[in-house]
Amino acid sequence: MNKVYNLQEELKEHLRQIIIDLGCDKDKINVIIEEPKEKSNGDLATNCAMQLARELKKSPKMIAQEIVEKINKEEYNIERIEIAGPGFINFFMNNKYLTQIIKQVLTLNEQYGRSDTGKKQRINVEFVSANPTGDLHLGHARGAAIGDTLCRILDMAGFNVTREYYINDAGNQIHNLALSTICRYEQLLGKNSEMPEDGYYGQDIVDIAKKLNLLYGDKYLEDTKERYDLFRNFAKNYELEKIKVDLASFNVTFDVWSSEEALYKEHKVEEAIERLRNKGYIYESEGATWFKSSAFGDDKDRVLRKSDNSLTYLTPDIAYHIDKLDRGYDILIDILGADHHGYVPRLKASMECLTGDSDKLEALIIQMVRLIKNGEEYKMSKRSGKALTLKDLIDEVGVDAIRFFFVSRSSDSQMDFDLDLATKQSNENPVYYAQYAHARICSILRQAEEKKLESVLLDEYHLIDSDKAFEVLKKLAEFPKTVATGALKRAPHIITNYVIDLAQAFHSFYNAEKVINDEDIEKTGQLLALVKATQITLRNSLNLIGVSAPEKM
RNA sequence: GGGGCGUUAGCUCAACUGGAUAGAGCAACGGCCUUCUAAGCCGUCGGUUAAGGGUUCGAGUCCCCUACGUCCCGCCA
């Protein structure tokens, strides 16, 4: 947390004290300080006088007047204070308030933006979790970009983050993967085999079959348990490796890869049912085993074990979430596609039943992405294997542009991904706007270095005095708070907005003012410090989105 | 029928626990490169925040209602 941000907090506390002295109930006081959009309304402002009007039974303006008289301006680097409009108190800060941020940034460097907002709470974020039955596609890309960015933000805001991928490697889909692989293998060897009903028709399955053929020849033409197990595992691992490679090239990594199959092997799935049974919320009906989830807010009860004795997908998922709780996390976040949102209440019901801790689970629902090609929706079908994969997307559009695009929209909104726009007009993507600012900065710093001009480290930069420079400084100061807000609201898109704002402030400053001036080495040194601080903040914020900060463009 | 999410400028989207004149990018128009990168800057144009009602000093934001879009409502995952 930087000094400027702390100063805001201190000022808040100062105001709180003043208000209490005016005779307000201290439990009701929630002082809000904000940075007005309109700069004629000051650098900081508070609406607290208006909020107190009713309780104190005085006009907001009078209250504001009384508050202002008691404020210690010097201690909080306040130049002057105005009361405006219906009762806003506007603070105009002095040069020291803004310029001291530079030293903070330069000193903290890549740590700038960190805060202890999360209080080291242990938080587990599960995302992507695609079945290892094929390539990742567009929807996964959005989930991956948002999930990974959220993790980076949470980490910087002081949470202890675990990134987790849950591998559904025990269900029907893996079964179909195994059968599809076997079929393709047999077809390679000249047999007229038919694909299973819900088979996977992608080229990748054919590739797997070819590899198996290469390894084992025609050894596995006969239908045996051994063949099934071998092919199943081979195909699963092949697909999983492919997913890992694609994610890595998308700058996404995980700390924990959890396996559904492992839950079975460790008997955690059976155990989950028994634990629910011991609580008295399991019953048998129509030959199936039911969980009375409606007792915990679900709209109906759910089947855990079907009448054919197999388990529904919910059952291992309950075991999985209980397992996560058992591992001691304070918060669990599931990042889910919109098509799974109805799934959350039943999962929470199980957690509530077993631990009473269902509040620890948060679901971040990500709305659907439509792929637009040639001006119309491009439907992807698993059956034909026709889909736009993450890998294709990276090759055509590039990691930076994709990540920025996906993260820049609120996850609550559906979005269209227009492929033609993304590839053809990629220069118009806002990500380049931000990266360009960084490249410009690097160019300035390179030239300064050639001229042996150096930035200086000071407590106060009295030669920095232009409005454009102050706008940049204000943005720099906002960074830690922005990260904290993004973390608490689980809203990564706040960071992309910030990046654009900061880049804009810098571009504007750049055009208005020349940094390198051989005639005035002292001022150049101070401005170079500002430029460096901007570089650091831009780099740190781009890094949160997983986007590169190029030195040249 | 029930529920989740959405509806803001011509297009794609913002707007921090309710705040001051609702902002960016793209598109359109007009300026700015003998000066650190013009992938840039400055300016202009563009709005009944889907419609209607309510709450209050104050609503894009909260409540109610209607319409439209989308997703879910399985002993599929």
A129: CB partners within 8 A, 6+ apart: A165, A166, A167, A168
Q: How far is it, in rounded angstroms, from Cα A194 to Cα A179?
A: 10
Residue A397 confidence (pLDDT) above 60 = yes
- Contact positions of strand B to protein Cβ (< 7 A): 2-7, 12-17, 19-21, 23-27, 35-42, 57, 69-77
Q: How far apart are the first and last CA of chain A?
A: 32
A309 CB neighbours strand B below 7 A = no
Residue A456 is predicted with a pLDDT of: 93
Mean pLDDT of A427-442: 87
Residue A393 is predicted with a pLDDT of: 87
Mean pLDDT of A368-392: 74
Query: Token match 């990691």: residue?
Result: A399
Residue A2 confidence (pLDDT) above 60 = no
Residue A139 is predicted with a pLDDT of: 85
Mean pLDDT of A82-93: 81
Question: In this structure, what is the dihedral angle of CA atoms A504, A505, A507, A512, given to the nearest 10 degrees?
Answer: 140
- Span A112-142, pLDDT tens digits: 999 998 999 999 999 999 999 988 988 899 9
Long-range contacts of A280-284 (CB under 8 A, 24+ apart): A281/A353
Residue A19 is predicted with a pLDDT of: 81
- A52-56, A222-226, A347-351, A536-540: which range is least confident on average? A52-56
A461: how many CB neighbours lie within 10 A of its CB?
Answer: 25
- Span A464-474, pLDDT tens digits: 988 889 889 98
What is the spatial distance, in angstroms and rounded to an integer, between the CA atom of A443 and the C1' atom of B9? Answer: 36
Residue A389 is predicted with a pLDDT of: 87
> Within 13 Å and on the Cβ side, how many CA atoms surround A29?
21
Question: In b/e form, how buried is each residue of A95-120, taking b as 16+ CB within 10 angstroms?
Answer: bebbbbbbbbbbebeeebbbbebbee
A449 CB neighbours strand B below 7 A = no
Residue A6 is predicted with a pLDDT of: 67
Q: How far is it, in rounded angstroms, from Cα A477 to Cα A77?
A: 15
Residue A272 is predicted with a pLDDT of: 95
For residue A7, give the nearest of A85, A86, A76 by alpha carbon: A76
What is the spatial distance, in angstroms and rounded to an integer, between the CA atom of A52 and the C1' atom of B51? Answer: 36
- Strands (DSSP E) along A200-295, which ranges? 256-259, 282-285, 288-291
Nucleic strand B contacts from chain A, 338-367, CB < 7 Å = 338-343, 365, 367
Residue A259 is predicted with a pLDDT of: 95
- Span A99-109, pLDDT tens digits: 999 999 999 99
- Span A361-376, pLDDT tens digits: 999 999 988 887 776 7
Of the two residues A450 and A23, the one the predictor is more confident about is A450
Q: How confident is the model at residue A1 (pLDDT cuts 50, 70, 90)?
A: very low
Residue A431 is predicted with a pLDDT of: 87
The DSSP code for A417 is: E
Q: Got the DSSP string for A3-31?
A: HHHHHHHHHHHHHHHHHHHTT--GGG---
Question: pLDDT over 90 for what percent of chain A?
Answer: 60
Residue A14 is predicted with a pLDDT of: 86
A398 CB neighbours strand B below 7 A = no
Residue A209 confidence (pLDDT) above 90 = yes
Residue A382 confidence (pLDDT) above 60 = no
Question: pLDDT over 70 for what percent of chain A?
Answer: 94
For residue A400, give the nearest of A510, A502, A553 by alpha carbon: A553
Residue A120 is predicted with a pLDDT of: 95
A217 CB neighbours strand B below 7 A = no
Tell me the pairing of strands A376-377 and A369-373: antiparallel
Nucleic strand B contacts from chain A, 9-38, CB < 7 Å = 30, 32, 34-38
Mean pLDDT of A450-474: 91
Mean pLDDT of A237-258: 96
A199: CB partners within 8 A, 6+ apart: A176, A179, A180, A183
Mean pLDDT of A271-296: 94
Query: Token match 């439509």: residue?
Result: A370
A59 CB neighbours strand B below 7 A = no
Kindly state the tokens that stand for A432.
């380049």
Q: Are A309 and A359 in contact (CB under 8 A)?
A: no
Tell me the pairing of strands A88-93 and A44-46: antiparallel
Residue A548 confidence (pLDDT) above 60 = yes
A238: CB partners within 8 A, 6+ apart: A204, A208, A211
Q: Are A302 and A290 in contact (CB under 8 A)?
A: yes
* Nucleotide of closest approach to A552 (CA, C1'): B37
Partner residues linked to A331 by β-bridges: A123
The DSSP code for A76 is: T
Partner residues linked to A369 by β-bridges: A415
ipTM: 0.93
The whole-chain average pLDDT of chain A stands at: 89
For residue A406, give the nearest of A130, A127, A164, A149 by alpha carbon: A149
Note the Cα A520 to chain centre separation in Å: 44
- Span A215-231, pLDDT tens digits: 999 999 999 999 999 99
Q: Are A29 and A59 in contact (CB under 8 A)?
A: no
Residue A138 is predicted with a pLDDT of: 86
Residue A80 is predicted with a pLDDT of: 87
Radius of gyration of chain A (CA): 29
Residue A3 confidence (pLDDT) above 70 = no
Q: Got the DSSP string for A438-453?
A: HHHHHHHHHHHHHTT-
A374 CB neighbours strand B below 7 A = no
* CA-to-CA separations, A413 to A114, A146, A191, A293, A402, in angstroms, rounded: 29, 13, 48, 30, 17
